[in-house]
């Protein structure tokens, strides 16, 4: 049978740069949480160890698959406190926090059986060979969804493709109107992504991800991170090892300054809370609770240059 030729002519479509994705050979899925679900389904784990300090959307697949989970703690260096013996068919998920914990990931890869690495905050950290690792694209780039999964397993689920076009309005509004105008749509999109079944990454997200200059994004993030660190290392309660950091998500500043988050937001420096659910999961006496309250994840992505980082530094200093 002759294959039908593609349509020729008609209106001109949105033109996007053509290039290569960062992880072209990985399994391409619609969301990070669903990449986690994909792993749970193919590996058939019967128990999951999760850090208290993570995002609650990771519970969605566990509830869907009725897999029990237990929380474990992290210490003040964000290292997991594995003071228990994981069961034979259990897995342990570790989050590469802010993209600054690659050394820890490498260490855990050697010692923890059935390790799953959540690189949702560490897009630029490559997986450690043989270690199941997933990525979420929307935390780093202007896409509504998209995830990559690296696994050595050959088992594959058969999936239909997701369609992203109806989750796009915040991305377009931010260009033509303003980030603030698109914010409501962004929140709506977050709700829509909840309990969305596993699907393949949409063609639209994949096309956008194929047109990004990843090296440029990575080097801007590194320069911005270093600049912020120079200015803030002296007051940051979180110890940071600069040499292994490559393409981080944010600069994690921890200071015991009540009202700092609100004050930054009032000055139009938007810092999220990672994560509101941690305040419910972890008791007030736990470090995780303290971290969720006092962490200020300072933006440093490809949209910003050193002068923007200087503005952040000045603003933070004005709060002290």
Q: Which is nearer to ligand PLP, 267 or 294 (CB)?
A: 294
- Measured at CB, which residue is nearest to ligand PLP? 32
Distance of alpha carbon 285 from alpha carbon 295, whole angstroms = 16
Q: Show the beta-strand stretches assigned E in the chain.
A: 27-29, 47-51, 69-74, 80-81, 90-95, 115-118, 132-136, 147-150, 250-254, 295-299
Q: How far is the CB of 77 from ligand PLP (least distance, A)?
A: 18
Is there binding between residue 95 and ligand PLP (CB under 6 A)? yes
Is there binding between residue 288 and ligand PLP (CB under 6 A)? no
Tracing tokens 């820890």 back to the chain, one arrives at 104
Distance of alpha carbon 223 from alpha carbon 202, whole angstroms = 32
Distance of alpha carbon 66 from alpha carbon 46, whole angstroms = 9
According to CB under 6 A, which one of 92, 147, 198, 292 is a site residue for ligand PLP? 147
Query: Considering CB under 6 A, how many residues would be counted as binding ligand PLP?
Result: 14
Is there binding between residue 252 and ligand PLP (CB under 6 A)? no
Is there binding between residue 118 and ligand PLP (CB under 6 A)? yes
Is there binding between residue 201 and ligand PLP (CB under 6 A)? no
Q: Which residues pair with 81 in a beta bridge?
A: 73
From 14-22, 28-36, 155-163, 181-189, span contacting ligand PLP (CB under 6 A): 28-36
According to CB under 6 A, which one of 21, 23, 28, 33 is a site residue for ligand PLP? 33
Is there binding between residue 206 and ligand PLP (CB under 6 A)? no
Q: How far is the CB of 198 from ligand PLP (least distance, A)?
A: 11
Residue 99: which of 267, 247, 201, 288 has the closest Cα? 247
Q: Which is nearer to ligand PLP, 162 or 245 (CB)?
A: 162
Size of the chain in residues: 320
Direct distance between the N- and C-terminal alpha carbons of the chain, in angstroms, rounded to an integer: 72
Residue 170 phi/psi, 5-degree rounding, is: -65, -30
According to CB under 6 A, which one of 48, 57, 62, 312 is a site residue for ligand PLP? 57
Is there binding between residue 58 and ligand PLP (CB under 6 A)? yes
Contacts 24+ apart (CB under 8 A), 232-238: 232/313, 232/316, 235/320, 237/76, 237/294, 238/76, 238/78, 238/295
Q: How far is the CB of 209 from ligand PLP (least distance, A)?
A: 13
According to CB under 6 A, which one of 121, 164, 205, 277 is a site residue for ligand PLP? 121
Contacts to ligand PLP from residues 179-198, by CB under 6 A: 193
The token pair at 152 is 């050595």
Cβ partners under 8 Å of residue 118, min gap 6: 32, 36, 54, 58, 93, 94, 95, 96, 134
Dihedral over Cα of 201, 148, 246, 116: its sign: positive
Q: Which is nearer to ligand PLP, 55 or 232 (CB)?
A: 55
From 31-39, 76-84, 216-224, 255-263, span contacting ligand PLP (CB under 6 A): 31-39
Cβ partners under 8 Å of residue 313, min gap 6: 227, 228, 231, 232
Is there binding between residue 132 and ligand PLP (CB under 6 A)? no
Q: Which is nearer to ligand PLP, 274 or 309 (CB)?
A: 274
Q: Where on the chain is the footprint of ligand PLP (CB under 6 A)?
A: 31-33, 54-55, 57-58, 95, 118, 120-121, 136, 147, 193
């Amino acid at each position: 049978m002759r294959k039908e030729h593609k349509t020729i002519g008609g209106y001109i479509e949105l033109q996007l740069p053509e290039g290569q994705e960062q992880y072209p050979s990985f399994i391409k899925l619609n969301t990070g949480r669903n990449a986690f679900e994909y792993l749970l389904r193919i590996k058939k784990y019967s128990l999951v160890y999760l850090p208290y300090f993570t995002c609650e959307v990771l519970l969605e697949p566990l509830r869907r698959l009725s897999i029990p989970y237990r929380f474990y703690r992290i210490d003040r260096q964000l290292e997991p406190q594995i003071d228990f013996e994981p069961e034979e068919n259990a897995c342990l998920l570790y989050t590469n926090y802010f993209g600054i914990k690659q050394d820890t990931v490498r260490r855990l890869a050697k010692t923890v059986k059935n390790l799953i690495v959540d690189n949702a905050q560490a897009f630029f950290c490559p997986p450690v060979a043989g270690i199941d690792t997933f990525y979420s694209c929307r935390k780093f780039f202007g896409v509504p969804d998209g995830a990559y999964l690296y696994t050595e397993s050959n088992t594959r689920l058969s999936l239909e493709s997701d369609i992203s076009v109806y989750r796009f309005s915040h991305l377009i509004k931010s260009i033509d109107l303003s980030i603030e105008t698109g914010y409501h749509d962004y929140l709506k999109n977050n709700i829509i992504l909840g309990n969305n079944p596993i699907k393949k990454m949409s063609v639209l997200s994949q096309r956008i991800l194929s047109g990004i200059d990843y090296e440029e994004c990575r080097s801007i993030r590194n320069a911005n991170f270093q600049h912020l660190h120079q200015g803030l290392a002296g007051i940051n309660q979180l110890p940071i090892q600069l040499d292994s950091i490559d393409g981080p998500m944010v600069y994690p500043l921890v200071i015991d300054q009540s009202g700092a988050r609100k004050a930054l937001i009032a000055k139009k420096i938007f810092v999220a809370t990672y994560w509101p659910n941690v305040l419910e999961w972890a008791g007030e006496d736990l470090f995780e609770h303290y971290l969720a309250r006092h962490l200020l994840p300072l933006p440093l992505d490809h949209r910003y240059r050193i002068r923007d980082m200087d503005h952040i530094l000045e603003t933070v200093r004005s709060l002290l």
